[in-house]
Amino acid sequence: MTLPSDNVRHFAITSELDLRVAVTSVFRLPMLGDADPADRSTIATIVSELGSNILKYARRGCVELVRTDSSDAAVVEVRAFDRGPGIADVDLAMYDHASTGGTLGLGLPGVSRLA
């Protein structure tokens, strides 16, 4: 299925500035025009966490927002892409405080809860 370009937004993440631009852009994206401020904040938080992980572990990548509409509701997928080292145990990484990077290990489980 090909989506109209106004239903897809890519953000290249190569620096802290790129990440800040991506996060702040969420609040004024036309594709989210019908989203309430709380939903926009949730999406911005997800973009922030995934983008931070890109910078921390892969140094560069992109975050993509894709909106699809159905008769029931609009859905916005947030996808992150990079060429980092990967996660050895994805299931484990989804638990609070599980980290191989010396961090608190709350980011991915938090994103999962928000989504």
pLDDT tens digits for range 61-90: 999 999 998 888 889 999 999 999 888 887
pLDDT for res 5:
65
Mean pLDDT, residues 22-31: 95
pTM score of the predicted model: 0.85
Eight-class DSSP state of 62: E
Query: For residue 13, what are the CA distances in angstroms to 24, 46, 52, 72, 76?
Result: 13, 14, 9, 32, 19
Angle, alpha carbons 39-45-46 (nearest 5°): 90
- Is the pLDDT at 112 greater than 60? The verdict is yes
